[in-house]
Amino acid sequence: MNQRVEIPVPVTVRLPTAPPPPSLSDGERTRLRERIKRLLKERNAVLVAHYYVDEDLQRLAEETGGCVADSLEMARFGNAHPARTLVVAGVRFMGETAKILNPEKRVLMPTLEAECSLDLGCPADQFIPFCDAHPDRQVVVYSNTSAEVKARADWVVTSSIAVKLIEHLKARGEKILWAPDKHLGKYLQRLTGADMLIWNAACVVHDEFKGLALAALKRQNPDAAIIAHPESPAAVLDQADLIGSTSQLIQAAKDLPNKKLIVATDRGIFYKMHQAAPDKILMEAPTAGEGATCESCAHCPWMAMNALSNLAETLETGANEVHVEEAVRVKALRATQRMLDFARSIQQKSHGD
């Protein structure tokens, strides 16, 4: 039984006000691409991109020996790659994770203003006292958090291994304090039956997917499979044929027999999903309906701040370097390294099966 305790009220999160990067002519795009390719070589740098960033950046990462991946694989790739500089195209927690794991490397980002509503919704000065009030619980934080929050955690986890980790902790008889995503937390609680105390934050993108509108779309397309990221609300997850991390959704698009797929995650993923499953018809899950604000509909406003122009500028000038205070980094490394070790152990187990 979960004890009844005060969960802090949700923190109000402001969406970015900066205008999106300017659109480019074909000539400008070609020139920027060539300049970035040259600079990556000259600076001994590799591009590590998330599936939600602009497809120009995803393509460039593929063409230059970098990676396009989910947040766990981005961390693993950056950690294993010999380049002296990691250029992380994504949001701030991804750059910080790279720095936590690789203090000897220079970590650059096209912009340091690319935040995440989950990270913003879990400020360390509120989270730490909350943890201190529950010393009997293992603190498990989603990777979408600041270095300070990771430094207070026992475990860091991403969506690709969250179910396995919570099952593991439950089997050890642990009680869990989970932060920050309430939808993912509730999903994990339902699935595993673990005793979880859940922080109250959400992803502004996934929170917009609407259950009723999704059911209507499914009625119009009864042959379609619904695939959803677990940051989506329960009304969406309850209808999903498959729930998984970004990489797992791409794999599912390939593996599921359905020709049509309704996809409840950021539309940036469609670039790789089309590549993986070229014969499939991909549809965006609906964000319109009751309670819709549609300020961030199906595309993360912070991921959208990454562009060819600011990437070239960063590589040219060395601006936007990610720094994490050493005392915080060392503490955050403990739980972050545990995540990588746990991911490796479950991978080895599945290969051994």
Where does this chain bind ligand 13P (CB under 6 A)?
70-72, 144, 158-160, 203, 229, 231, 245-246
Distances (CA, A) of 346 to 136, 167, 245, 252, 342: 26, 12, 16, 19, 6
Which H or E run includes 275? helix 270-276
List the single partner that 246 binds among ligand SF4, ligand 13P, none, CB under 5 to 8 Å by kind. Answer: ligand 13P
3-state SS, residue 173: coil
| Angstrom distance (rounded) from CA 127 to CA 131 | 6
d(CA 258, CA 218): 13
Residue type, 16: P
- The span from the CA of 17 to the CA of 54, in Å, is 19
Look at residue 117 and give the partner it binds from ligand 13P, ligand SF4, none, a contact being a CB closer than 5 to 8 Å depending on partner kind: ligand SF4
45 binds ligand SF4 per the rule CB under 6 A:
no
When the beta carbons of 143 and 314 are compared against ligand SF4, the nearer one is 143
* Closest separation in Å from C-beta 8 to ligand SF4: 19
Cα dist. 145→83, 142, 333, 336 in Å? 25, 6, 13, 11
Rounded to the nearest whole angstrom, what is the least distance from the CB of residue 87 to ligand 13P in the complex?
A: 18
Question: Which of 51, 178, 209, 302 contacts ligand SF4 by CB under 6 A?
Answer: 302
Q: Which amino acid is located at 30 in the chain?
A: T
Per CB under 6 A, the segment of 31-39, 126-134, 151-159, 198-206 that binds ligand SF4 is 198-206
Size of the site for ligand SF4 (CB under 6 A): 13
Q: Which range in 18-26, 128-136, 193-201, 202-210 contacts ligand SF4 by CB under 6 A? A: 202-210
Cβ-based neighbours of 185, under 8 Å, separated by 6 or more: 178, 179, 196, 198, 199
159: partner contacted, choices ligand 13P, ligand SF4, none (Cβ within 5-8 A by kind): ligand 13P
Tell me if 143 contacts ligand SF4 by CB under 6 A: no
302 binds, among ligand SF4, ligand 13P, none (CB under 5 to 8 A by kind): ligand SF4
Tell me whether residue 202 or residue 312 sits nearer to ligand 13P (CB atom).
202
Q: Interface with ligand SF4 includes 116 (CB under 6 A)?
A: yes
DSSP of 10-71: PPP-PPP-SPPPPP--HHHHHHHHHHHHHHHHHTTEEEEEETTS-HHHHHHHHHTT-EEE-H
CB of 179 to ligand SF4, least distance (A): 13
Query: How far is Cα 98 from Cα 93, in angstroms, rounded to an integer?
Result: 9
Rounded least distance, CB 4 to ligand 13P, Å = 30
In the list ligand 13P, ligand SF4, none, the entry touching 195 (Cβ below 5 to 8 angstroms by class) is none
Residue 107 binds ligand SF4 (CB under 6 A): no
From the list ligand SF4, ligand 13P, none, partner contacted by residue 303 (C-beta under 5 to 8 A by kind): ligand SF4
Query: In the complex with ligand 13P, which residue's Cβ is closer, 234 or 330?
Result: 234
Burial of 302 (0-12, 13-18, 19+ CB in 10 A): buried
Decide: is 96 part of the binding site for ligand SF4 (CB under 6 A): no
Provide the minimum distance between the beta carbon of 26 and ligand SF4 in the complex, in angstroms, as a whole number.
29
- The number of residues in the chain equals 353
Single residue of 102, 143, 144, 310 touching ligand SF4 by CB under 6 A: 144
Tell me which of 203, 304, 324, 328 binds ligand SF4, using CB under 6 A: 203
CA 182 to chain centre: 15
Distance (Å, rounded) from C-alpha 93 to C-alpha 296?
19
Three-class SS state of 138: strand
Interaction site with ligand SF4 (CB under 6 A): 91, 116-118, 144, 203-205, 231, 266, 300, 302-303
